[in-house]
Amino acid sequence: MAEVLATYSESFKASLYDIDVAGNPKPSRLTERMLLVANNHLDILNWSWTHLYNDYGVALVLIEVSLKLTGKFKLGEMLKITTWTSKKLYPMLMRWFVIENEAGERVCEAIMNCVMIDINTRSITNATKYGLSLVEDDTPPMEVAIKRPRFVSEVKEGERPCDFSLNKKVLCSDLDYNGHMNTARYVELAEDLVGRDWLMSHEIDEISVRYEKETPYGETIETVGFDIGDPETNGGLVEIAGTAGGVKRFSAKLIYK
């Protein structure tokens, strides 16, 4: 099997779905676009999600995603997504992304982390078991400021009332091929939690989501958010947690300005 290309790029035209109600880049939509580019990168070696699922009975599960918005773009503008991995990390388990506008200016950085799950035992399995090759070139094509997110809550349970709350029932359209709510949907849930009026007066600078436990069809996720403002920067942080049946399903952080 050939070595996977260390770097892969695709271009797309910014659509209405890529921009939120305030005219800012929409993190949930960019997450979906980056996941598709990652799959196309893996498809070069016939290691796409569909191939893994159909031929080996394993599924890739996104467990962490963090996006840093560093610029804006216009409707109809051509954007380029570049993604890469490291020789130290398997291509399907950890990767980085950069999105650039037509002028070559960076508008978004992201990092994603996945695990490989055996769909029959529902347990984590190792990529080397299936003969996955590593990249030869371990040199990152560009520098990024974004780091793997840390989730240490600044709000203790019961310490104060929440500033945001939203209940979300998992519907058929939320499910991925692994049979539970797609992790990218949790980014949407964080956006829905703060809501339209908040987005009209605040700008998301960075959003990070960590998947805790799968949420199957029909369950309701009770999501709360705590706004920790910073008067010195006129911005702040929203700590987010989602539970279903008393079990935490995801954690998130939303940094705004």
Is the pLDDT at 221 greater than 90, yes or no? yes
CB atoms within 10 A of CB 22: 14
Categorize the per-residue pLDDT at 43 as very low, low, confident or very high, splitting at 50, 70 and 90: confident
The whole-number pLDDT of residue 134 equals: 60
Categorize the per-residue pLDDT at 122 as very low, low, confident or very high, splitting at 50, 70 and 90: confident
Query: For 41-60, what is the mean pLDDT?
Result: 82
Give the rounded percent of residues in the chain with a pLDDT score beyond 90. Answer: 59
Of residues 42 and 173, which shows the higher confidence score? 173
Tell me if 7-130 shares its fold with 164-256.
yes
| CA nearest neighbour of 20 among 225, 194, 167, 163 | 194
CATH number of this structure's domain 7-130, picked from the four choices 3.40.50.1100, 3.65.10.10, 3.10.129.10, 3.40.50.300: 3.10.129.10
Non-local CB neighbours of 233 within 8 Å, separated by 6+ positions:
257
Q: Which residue ranges make up each domain of the chain?
A: 7-130, 164-256
pLDDT tens, residue by residue, 150-179:
888 888 777 899 999 999 999 999 998 778
The whole-number pLDDT of residue 92 equals: 64
Mean pLDDT (the chain, rounded): 88
Is the CATH number 3.40.250.10 carried by domain 164-256?
no
